[in-house]
Amino acid sequence: MPVAVDFLPMHVLVFGAGSLGSLVGGCLARAHEVTLVGRDPHVAAIQRDGLSITGALTADVQPAAATTPPTSADLALVTVKAYDTPAAASSLAAVDCPVALSLQNGLGNEAILADHLDCPVLSGTCTYGARLVEPGHVECTGVGEVVLGPREGGESTIATEIGRAFTAADLATRVAANMPRRRWEKLAVNAAINPITALARVPNGALSAEPAATIAARTAREVARVARANGVPLSDAAAVEATERVIETTAENRSSMLQDVEAGRRTEIDAINGAVVDRSSDAATVDDRTAVPLNETLAALIRTWERERD
């Protein structure tokens, strides 16, 4: 049951009702009014029979579901793939909403949303595991944590209110003042795990053994060096520790990029390893550019697969 905290029920618009959006939105529906915006046949199944959550969390909830967003909401929770962020931002610009929160992978999503929306845009990370089993049914493959806060760092009253609202729905949630560092740490984890598991077709736990363990650790260190070159204090040790922790706690999970590759879908490589490569060039001069050979290689391999899939 949801824990008792001081909060006001919200109308939460979840833009991007895929696996993660459906899981988080479904959990929020235990304490709030929720509208899941996604695609058919998933939306049609939820309209007809509700949303079933199984696995590490279980619930049967009845959120609203639609293929287009409502005209207003108290919170816009954005969970689309990074490459769909511009389209999501354009759609959300017509919604009367006082705050937006991105729980997306990669870098740059919050800036795109902020350019389109006339409201504060919070940054967030989420380590809950999710898998869309079938239309109307999402599996929680691992209980994690939602961390959120102002995208530029610091504290805000509205971030605290959103944190309370999430906690009221029994989602493990933390409001943090150091979101730039946390965002780069999450990027290091994604860059080290997602493309390797996608290329090798293995679950996360396979990266705890050699030879993948060394590749993952080196990839995470490259991200940490680029973070520091961009003014974000993320140490090599912290990036590797976070990566190893996620590998251990999500050993049975199949990463989102692996799921995309298995389904023949476009991946988020441009916003993950591709973003690391881009930031390594932007933050340094030609003479002292931060070298990221593993991120370059992983991005090139996934992009080659995508090109052949057209």
Helices and strands in the chain: count of H runs, count of E runs? 11, 12
The Cα-based distances of 300 to 150, 189, 261 in angstroms read 33, 18, 15
β-bridge mates for residue 139, sequence order? 54, 131
Q: Which residues have a catalytic role annotated?
A: 186
Residues in the chain: 310
For residue 33, the SS3 value is: strand
- Tell me whether residue 199 is exposed, middle or buried, using C-beta atoms within 10 angstroms of its C-beta: 0 to 12, 13 to 18, 19 or more: middle
**By C-alpha distance, which of 252, 253, 242, 251 is closest to 219?**
242
Crossing angle (nearest 10°) for helices 179-200 and 212-229: 150
For residue 152, the SS3 value is: coil
| 104 phi and psi angles, rounded to 5 deg | -105, 165
Distance CA 251, CA 262 (A): 18
Distance CA 256, CA 270 (A): 14
Q: Alpha-carbon torsion 306, 217, 128, 163, what sign?
A: negative
Crossing angle (nearest 10°) for helices 293-309 and 273-282: 130
β-bridge mates for residue 72, sequence order? 96
Distance CA 111, CA 199 (A): 30
